[in-house]
Structure 1
Amino acid sequence: MSLPNLLSLARALAMLCLTLFASACNSLPTIVPDMVPSKGEPVQLDGTHGPLSAERSKAILDRLSAGGDETNIFDLHLAVEEAIVGSPLSAGNKVELLQDGPNTYKAMLAAITAATDHINMETFILEDDEIGQRFAAELIVKQQEGVQVNLMYDSVGTLGTPKAFFKELADGGVDLLEFNPVNPVTAKAGWEVNQRDHRKLLIVDGRIAFLGGVNISSVYSGGSLSQSSKVRPGGELPWRDTHLQVEGPVVAELQQLFIDTWIQQKGEPLIPRNYLPLLEPKGNEVVRAIGSSPEEPYSLIYATLISALRSAQSEIWLTNAYFVPDPQLLTTLKEAVARGVDVRLVLPSSTDSWLVFHASRSNFSELLEAGVKLYERRGALLHVKTAVIDGVWSTVGSTNLDWRSFLHNYEVNAVVLGNDFGEQMRAAFKADQANSSEITLEQWRRRSILMRAKELIAQLWEYWL
């Protein structure tokens, strides 16, 4: 079959599937303004003093330079970040970068073991496997010691987890809340099956917090950074992921996010504890905690990222598991290259989602032609969601660069401003890039007809992925 005929057939099949899928839903979600494909001017983001456009960013830079002192890149990103409406920037924080499951779980379990007042945990996936059982056992022990444990888990993310697993936790005294149950009969806050809690958040005693991309699952039992720890039982690829451990004033923002979501989901009133203790400075990092939800007029995480990308002066290095960008994000990356910014993306070479993988690749031609450098991570299943811009603006969290994260999911990210943490992020990016294969434009143009057809089919589903 010729290429035109094959592509035509693929498009027809995809449209048929999409029509059948849509007809099964009551209504299609409303696309919020910042994600609407625009043929005219790009959507402007609201800042404290008006639209935060490229011109607005320049005005902020001019204001900072008015005193005669040379403005550095940190000042620029600090000013841009301050102009975004939302949670406050918080100084005096200590941030530790955690890579892969073993290191992350070790730190999380140590904090849980040391808890004296309460443990608040929010997760998308919580599996009944070796890792899940370790966490469940420790949470039950702490509850029985008098530490209040509140656990919120997503209904879709835990579809495969037996009810007996959660019954054991409940019998142990742990307070449970199923986020947006799949079964509408058990939903307390209205039934929105397409809205999911994709956050991974742990707060211990209101003083230490963990967030990022790591779920509670044995898929993370192997590391991805050393040859000796790569292979998991059964020979599956290890999962490559990134998490943060945070101490300092910003923990109060993460705690409030958990509490607000618990209340919004109409959970039982939280047992009184010292959830918001007075927090002293613990380090030198400037951090903003950002939560987003579909109820908001636009995704604050998306707005913050676009603003940082538009303000980039030298580097934009993104690592992301599910890269299905909207038109504005694509345009922003291409414009950055046009003004001389080094734009690099590390993406998966294998994935747990066929549609996402090929929908992501459907953007490769446009990106490569614009000069964006693309790399696919080998030897691991990439689940990272991070960015480092100009070596001073970094973010780690649960948010993928796709329509689902920006439109349908509850997500949480931390933005960290500073050279020291930025250098750690750059080093992590370089390590992933060293373990990746570069995709060149010449090579990409030689891909097979079958690959092109898969991209076309997947692209038609990108809004739902």
Structure 2
Amino acid sequence: MPYPSAARFPHNKGLHIPIPLRSPLKVIAQTMAALLLVLGLVGCKSLPRVVPDLERRPPPVRLEGSQGPLSAERSRAILERLRASGQGSDVLSRHLAVEEAVVGSPLTVGNKAVLLEDGPATYRAMLAAIEAAKDHIHLETYILDDDDIGQQFANALIAKQRQGVQVLLIHDSVGTLRTPDAFFQRLTDTGIRVLEFNPLNPALARTTWELNERDHRKLLIVDGRIAFLGGINISGVYSSGSFASGGRSGTGDGKTDDTPWRDTHIQLQGPVVAEFQKMFLDTWKTQKGEAYTERDFYPTPDLAGRHVVRAIASSPQDNYSQIYATLLSAIGSAESTVYLTNAYFAPDPQLLEALQDAAARGVDVRLILPSKTDSWLIFHAGRNYYTQLLKAGVKIYERQGVILHTKAGLIDGVWSTIGSTNLDWRSFLHNYEVNAVVLGTEFGDQLQKLFNADLAESKQITLHEWTRRGLLLRAKELFARAWEYWL
């Protein structure tokens, strides 16, 4: 969720700073934000032109294990096994050739990846890992609500801090705007170090104040050995799962209802956890968080499984979004299928072109998008592109009966990604995001089953039907598209 939802606040997403505010200083912050928008003082950035050279010879791929870089012979053996699992095609080489050029993190082997569907299963796994913590807990989240779920996590973190486990918590200022100060004060009173990312109040800024830059990551690391990431915030809206009613959510018209939320997370163990640890500690450092005690942040990793995983982070400080460039390279390398499930779809011209080109090559391109949402602006901005995509042969489905919040992709059955990144300008330009890329058919088969389950609960949008939609929907799409850069 890139912004507090319409159900949470009377405004929609973007630079609208919603109420209730917790202090007069936040009223000042709200006013300044509005002035910045009106005066156009918040600079616009542009997405880079990514042109993968898919015909060139792939450079040597870095593979790392529990003891560091693998030998060239061992690396070749692992890559050959992955290629064989891709039904004999060389698609992995094509993906990796571009990934190596744009992504700074290594491809790690010996990992265990577990797919987590919806809030209840994810919260059980996260809380179990917290309860078992022995050394440290690092939690980074966009939303941390003061509700039953939020209190469960608060109590679990406080209990571990009292046992001597060091707890560091990063929460985004906009995402937790509704969470009262008392909630975080209770945490700090027990010794937990709490860092508010990019405070809305400029007077509290520890670095250059950038209203539009938000921490949209959802990342939990326990003892440097287990990591969780994906689209699931810490909030009661996820408490019911996606096949039972309950919880508070929003509709396309900004009204609250009891529609369940559908989301996806991933649990990782093995050498790749160290890469996510680096990301967390780098954010703490750049935001000038409180000093902490050095713990065993990078224990010698165990060989937890057979999955090959790459950790990818992006931030507005990067020259380009590594997640964006990686996704474009994977779509451009696709030979058979591109399956994307995403909550917020407002594509830039290059992503549109990549999807259309893939369909033109005969690739089966399918998008599962929301039928209901917590932000009607981004909802209608994305629908504005349906005609163009449908004419190009892209298949579009809208997930029924839930608020779709998943951010996942599966390409050629061998390249999988799960994370916090939406397919919109905000995720690619303005947010701190984090994703995992998992290679091979073992995990790809799991994600395929989940994609199929969502597909079975979705309605296909046909070109014939879509071209006959009403004038009111068309007007909403045009209005929303004018704001898509800021959504």
User: Would you say same fold, with TM above 0.5?
Assistant: yes
Partner of 1:28: 42
Is the Cα contact below 8 Å between 2:334 and 2:363 reproduced in 1?
yes
Give the length in aligned residue pairs: 423
| 1:358 maps to which of 380, 396, 406 | 380
Partner of 1:367: 389
1:141 paired with 2:155, answer no
Instruction: Give the secondary-structure state (helix, strand or coil) at the position aligned to 1:344.
Output: strand
Partner of 2:191: 173
User: How far off is 1:82 after superposition?
Assistant: 3.2
Distance 1:231 1:208 in 2: 30
User: How far off is 1:79 after superposition?
Assistant: 3.9
Q: Residue by residue, what CA displacement relative to the aligned partner does 1:241-283 show, whole Å, maximum 9, x if unpaired?
A: 0001000000000000000000000011222211111112211
Distance 2:138 2:346 in 1: 31
Q: Residue by residue, what CA displacement relative to the aligned partner does 1:23-44 show, whole Å, maximum 9, x if unpaired?
A: 535623242441xxxxxxxx23
Partner of 2:58: 60
Distance 2:199 2:360 in 1: 46
Distance 1:264 1:114 in 2: 29
Instruction: Give the secondary-structure state (helix, strand or coil) at the position aligned to 1:345.
Output: strand
Instruction: Give the secondary-structure state (helix, strand or coil) at the position aligned to 1:415.
Output: strand
Q: Quick one: structure 1 residues 386 and 86, their matched pair in 2 at CA, closer, same or farther if it must change by over 3 Å?
A: same
User: How far off is 1:354 after superposition?
Assistant: 0.9
C-alpha root-mean-square deviation of aligned residues, in Å? 2.0
Is the Cα contact below 8 Å between 2:107 and 2:308 reproduced in 1?
yes
Distance 1:32 1:350 in 2: 29
Is the Cα contact below 8 Å between 2:58 and 2:93 reproduced in 1?
no
Report 1:147-158 matches (<5 A): 147-158=165-176
Instruction: Give the secondary-structure state (helix, strand or coil) at the position aligned to 2:58.
Output: helix
Partner of 1:448: 470
| 1:109 maps to which of 123, 127, 145 | 127
| 1:97 maps to which of 106, 111, 115 | 115
Is the Cα contact below 8 Å between 1:346 and 1:436 reproduced in 2?
yes
Q: Quick one: structure 1 residues 23 and 102, their matched pair in 2 at CA, closer, same or farther if it must change by over 3 Å?
A: closer
Report 1:170-209 matches (<5 A): 170-209=188-227
Q: Residue by residue, what CA displacement relative to the aligned partner does 1:378-425 show, whole Å, maximum 9, x if unpaired?
A: 011000000000000000000000000000000000011010100111
Partner of 1:262: 284
**Amino acid in structure 1 at the alignment position of 2:50:** Q
User: How far off is 1:78 after superposition?
Assistant: 3.7
Instruction: Give the secondary-structure state (helix, strand or coil) at the position aligned to 2:310.
Output: strand
Partner of 2:235: 217
Distance 1:79 1:297 in 2: 20
Distance 1:377 1:71 in 2: 32
Is the Cα contact below 8 Å between 1:124 and 1:215 reproduced in 2?
yes
Q: Residue by residue, what CA displacement relative to the aligned partner does 1:4-35 show, whole Å, maximum 9, x if unpaired?
A: xxxxxxxxxxxxxxxx876535623242441x
**Amino acid in structure 2 at the alignment position of 1:418:** G
Q: Residue by residue, what CA displacement relative to the aligned partner does 1:217-263 show, whole Å, maximum 9, x if unpaired?
A: 00001111x4xx34447961111000010000000000000000000
Distance 2:187 2:47 in 1: 41
Partner of 2:430: 408
Partner of 1:84: 102
| 2:327 maps to which of 302, 305, 314 | 305
Partner of 1:14: none
Partner of 1:436: 458
Q: Quick one: structure 1 residues 446 and 220, their matched pair in 2 at CA, closer, same or farther if it must change by over 3 Å?
A: same
Distance 2:400 2:280 in 1: 35
Q: Quick one: structure 1 residues 116 and 157, their matched pair in 2 at CA, closer, same or farther if it must change by over 3 Å?
A: same
Is the Cα contact below 8 Å between 2:245 and 2:258 reproduced in 1?
no
Distance 1:23 1:107 in 2: 41
1:238 paired with 2:260, answer yes
**Amino acid in structure 1 at the alignment position of 2:53:** S
Distance 2:40 2:208 in 1: 14
User: What is the TM-score when the length of structure 2 is the normalising length?
Assistant: 0.84
1:127 paired with 2:145, answer yes
Is the Cα contact below 8 Å between 1:345 and 1:374 reproduced in 2?
yes
Distance 1:166 1:71 in 2: 52
User: What is the TM-score when the length of structure 1 is the normalising length?
Assistant: 0.88
Q: Residue by residue, what CA displacement relative to the aligned partner does 1:268-314 show, whole Å, maximum 9, x if unpaired?
A: 12222111111122111111101100001100000000000000000
Is the Cα contact below 8 Å between 1:32 and 1:297 reproduced in 2?
no
**Amino acid in structure 2 at the alignment position of 1:220:** Y
Instruction: Give the secondary-structure state (helix, strand or coil) at the position aligned to 2:302.
Output: coil
**Amino acid in structure 2 at the alignment position of 1:204:** V
Report 1:368-407 matches (<5 A): 368-407=390-429
User: How far off is 1:77 after superposition?
Assistant: 3.0
Q: Quick one: structure 1 residues 192 and 277, their matched pair in 2 at CA, closer, same or farther if it must change by over 3 Å?
A: same
1:283 paired with 2:305, answer yes
Partner of 2:11: none
Distance 2:305 2:42 in 1: 46
Is the Cα contact below 8 Å between 1:78 and 1:417 reproduced in 2?
no
Q: Quick one: structure 1 residues 173 and 186, their matched pair in 2 at CA, closer, same or farther if it must change by over 3 Å?
A: same
Q: Quick one: structure 1 residues 456 and 121, their matched pair in 2 at CA, closer, same or farther if it must change by over 3 Å?
A: same
Distance 2:50 2:264 in 1: 31
Q: Quick one: structure 1 residues 347 and 120, their matched pair in 2 at CA, closer, same or farther if it must change by over 3 Å?
A: same
Is the Cα contact below 8 Å between 2:50 and 2:328 reproduced in 1?
no
| 2:316 maps to which of 283, 294, 315 | 294
Q: Residue by residue, what CA displacement relative to the aligned partner does 1:42-72 show, whole Å, maximum 9, x if unpaired?
A: x235xxxxxx33444xx439x99xx9x9654
Distance 2:214 2:245 in 1: 31
Deviates more, 1:164-173 or 1:342-351: 164-173
Is the Cα contact below 8 Å between 1:394 and 1:425 reproduced in 2?
yes
Partner of 1:40: none
Q: Percent sequence identity over matched residues?
A: 60
1:341 paired with 2:339, answer no
Q: Residue by residue, what CA displacement relative to the aligned partner does 1:111-161 show, whole Å, maximum 9, x if unpaired?
A: 000000000000000000000000001100000000000000000000000
Distance 1:221 1:128 in 2: 14
Q: Please list every run of 5 or more consecutive structure 1 residues that lacks an aligned counterpart in the other structure.
A: 1-19, 35-42, 46-51
